[in-house]
Chain A
Amino acid sequence: MEILKKYIAPWALINEDIPIHVEWISDKNHEIEIILPENFGFSKFFNVVDIEIIKENHVIIHKIIKQGSIAICIKAREKYSDWLTKLPIMIRFINNQDTIELVLTANIYRPVVTIEFIPKSIIVDKLIKTEGPIQLKFKLNGIGNVSFKPELGATGTFKVEKQSMFTEVVKKILSDLNEGIENQHKNEMSVDVSDELVDEFVDMFMHFNENKDEIYPFKGESLDEFIEVIKSIPEEKFTEMMLGYIQTFFSETLIELMNRFPSDHVEISNSLQNISVKPTVEKVTYCLRYKDALDNEYEPLEGDISVIHNTAEDDFFNIPLSIEIIPDIETDFTVLEVEK
């Protein structure tokens, strides 16, 4: 018996289908025993008629339809701790005279996030306003796209606010637009915007308002059209105001996207946040949740930062924070380089 071709997908996440394909030539029929690592499972078999399941990760194929090839899909289910875990897939071709063993390697990867730098304490005083946000730095190890969701809290009375201006801008546009339309109805202003277009716009902005975590969708054409319409409005002040808002809206969308996708393969929702704390608050807490591209969630990173109040103010004091993800450049990715 001779193995002619063997293929296994070169890398996979947990719960991702890993295709395997083997071709051989032989003048005898073989039973095929497949043993996967613990916590692996089979998801698909092709060209198989008689199969005995010994365990979830162990089968014996007694009969195949077409001699000389087999294809299966398998899945890893366990979260490993390293960014890359190499695991053996054992395929045994059994025949009384001639048994051949083939071992393929499954490369299971995951994102691994560690703390790079988190300050031990934050001193709350006037300076905090001018020094820019306090950075919480995390290091990302591994390949693949990862999405992060930071959550802030505190021991005591606090308020968390996204530092995005987006919602503010949208609120302002909506209210001014409504006001403008109301005035139009009262014949106080000669705003000539078709109801349909306005409805579409209100819908769009409302949608943004509701789905703050979503990427902000809009159709470029309708925006261009809208700008044209606004420009044609004889009420100069209204036009100028609306154009200003729309430009701000455009800018904010862009900045949101830049903040959300700050580097390749990284997505952070709300990387900039403000936490406002009362003087009774002694600690700010953080929790960084993260998921891979298949929405597998990994253990979040949690911790706290002490707050030292150095101000006489009794009211909420605003602390701006930013979440930074730094890719680990020291990881040796060449282990996955498979040149063809």
Chain B
Amino acid sequence: MTVDPITMVAAGKIASDAVSSAKTAAELGESIDRYRLIFKKYKPDITNIRINYQDCEALIDLHISLKDKNDWRAKIEIPYGPDFTIVNTYAGLYKPVRNAWKISNGKYILNGKDIPKDCDDLLVSLKGKIDKNILDKFIEITRSTDPFDNGEEDRYWMCSKITNATVLEKLYDGFILENVNVDVHVIVRSSFTTSISPDLKIIMSAGSQLINAEKSGDRNQQKIAKYRLKKLKDWAPVEPHEIYKVVADLIARRNFKDYVYTKGSYSIGQIYQDEDRVTPIPDTVEVDAFTDLNFENDFAEGHIFFKREDYKKEIRDEMDKLLDKKIKKSKKRRK
């Protein structure tokens, strides 16, 4: 076959992808292996790895065989390091050993007294951290750009996958990646802009209409604009920053979780509403959906639903309350 330039470029890209994914797997391998090397002298195996994708904390179980080691109790010591902690120690894989280690002279020293003499295995759980950048390369996350709108709800699809990680699979069978999150940016700005009533819009536009009329130089127009502004202020003296206050209060309620749910193998996690936003109305709300992945289940898919019309109703109700309050107050004052 003849190969056109585009295809050649494509072929080049694919090759480099394959290389980079193998590199990523090796990087992650190294990053995990660091913890095995702490016990290098005792030739440990890694039996289990649980990595929390959110905070990058890794729980690594190391198995040390105690067979053929003379007087091992007195000898097991490892350098103390600030980048890991020993969480648990088990004798014979299941029996927890209390106060198993003491720190002395910059070393962790095993307290062998509580370990039965006939015990052949020692299991140590370490807690460490894995570089987020390496983890990110290891997971492929895709979510829809646009929601599908069924008239009531906006739905976004999402999926996550452990990419080519065979290198790791060969090394570690018990590998779990927990809380793999997909951040979906749920669009909310139109929920606000379409929930402000026409009455409020008329009140808001009265001021600028006056400026417009002043600019035109038309006396009659100015007169009408002034009269309108006065009448509207008498009827419901709503000031614009009060509308923004309603928006800010709605966000401060932190109840957005009531308006989102998932289907498929994800659960709703953190919700980030941008309280420091630089726009008066938020554009999006970041919703985290999370799932667990391992080598058997290295792929997850699902949907996030945003109950848009329900959310709008809450906004409309609050806006209406503001207007009603102002009308009542103004009536009272006139009496």
Measured CB to CB, the nearest residue on chain B to A20 is B159
Q: Does B272 contact A (CB under 8 A)?
A: no
Q: Does A71 contact B (CB under 8 A)?
A: yes
CB-based contact B7/A7 at 8 Å:
no
- Chain B residues near A44 (CB-CB < 8 A): 17, 140
B residues near A (Cβ < 8 Å) are 1, 3, 6-7, 10-11, 14, 17-18, 21, 140, 142, 144-150, 157, 159, 161, 163-164, 166, 169, 187, 189-194, 196, 201, 204-205, 207-209, 211-212, 215, 239-241, 243-244, 248, 263-264, 276, 278-281, 283, 298-299, 301-303, 308
* A/B interface sample: 22 pairs, CB < 8 A: A7-B301, A11-B157, A42-B14, A47-B166, A56-B6, A165-B208, A168-B208, A215-B279, A216-B280, A220-B248, A248-B211, A250-B239, A251-B204, A252-B208, A257-B192, A261-B190, A261-B194, A263-B190, A264-B308, A265-B190, A333-B148, A337-B150
Q: Does A294 contact B (CB under 8 A)?
A: yes
CB-based contact B146/A258 at 8 Å:
no
The verdict on A42 contacting B279 (CB below 8 Å), with A168-B212, A255-B205, A257-B193 known, is: no
Measured CB to CB, the nearest residue on chain A to B303 is A340
CB-based contact A254/B146 at 8 Å:
no
- Chain A residues near B211 (CB-CB < 8 A): 165, 168-169, 172, 248
Q: Does A13 contact B (CB under 8 A)?
A: yes
- Chain B residues near A293 (CB-CB < 8 A): 145-146
Q: Does A46 contact B (CB under 8 A)?
A: yes
CB-based contact A19/B208 at 8 Å:
no
CB-based contact B299/A69 at 8 Å:
yes
Q: What's the least CB distance linking A61 to chain B, in Å?
A: 10
What separation, in Å, do the CA atoms of A340 and B264 have in the docked complex? 7
CB-based contact A49/B280 at 8 Å:
no
- Chain B residues near A266 (CB-CB < 8 A): 190
SS class of chain A's interface: helix, strand, loop or mixed?
mixed
- Chain B residues near A294 (CB-CB < 8 A): 145
The verdict on A53 contacting B145 (CB below 8 Å), with A19-B161, A217-B278, A251-B208 known, is: no
- Chain B residues near A217 (CB-CB < 8 A): 278-279
Q: How many A-B residue pairs have CB under 8 A?
A: 184
Measured CB to CB, the nearest residue on chain B to A252 is B208
CB-based contact B298/A17 at 8 Å:
no
Binary interface encoding of chain A residues 246-274 relative to chain B, with 1 for a CB under 8 A from any of its CBs, else 0: 01101111110110111111100000000
Measured CB to CB, the nearest residue on chain A to B210 is A248
- Chain A residues near B157 (CB-CB < 8 A): 9-11
- Chain B residues near A169 (CB-CB < 8 A): 208, 211
Q: Does A23 contact B (CB under 8 A)?
A: yes
- Chain B residues near A48 (CB-CB < 8 A): 14, 18, 164
Measured CB to CB, the nearest residue on chain A to B162 is A46
Cβ-neighbour of A247 out of B144, B241, B301, B308 (below 8 A): B241
8 smallest CB-CB distances across A and B, nearest first, come from: A250-B240, A144-B146, A217-B278, A165-B208, A251-B204, A261-B193, A248-B207, A251-B240
Binary interface encoding of chain A residues 33-51 relative to chain B, with 1 for a CB under 8 A from any of its CBs, else 0: 0000000011011111101
Measured CB to CB, the nearest residue on chain B to A258 is B193
CB-based contact A254/B1 at 8 Å:
no
CB-based contact A13/B145 at 8 Å:
yes
Cβ-neighbour of B7 out of A55, A218, A223 (below 8 A): A55
The verdict on A264 contacting B207 (CB below 8 Å), with A11-B148, A46-B161, A53-B11 known, is: no
What separation, in Å, do the CA atoms of A165 and B272 have in the docked complex? 33
Measured CB to CB, the nearest residue on chain B to A339 is B263
Q: Does A125 contact B (CB under 8 A)?
A: no
Q: Does A95 contact B (CB under 8 A)?
A: no
- Chain A residues near B14 (CB-CB < 8 A): 42, 45, 48, 51, 53
Q: Does A91 contact B (CB under 8 A)?
A: no
CB-based contact A257/B281 at 8 Å:
yes
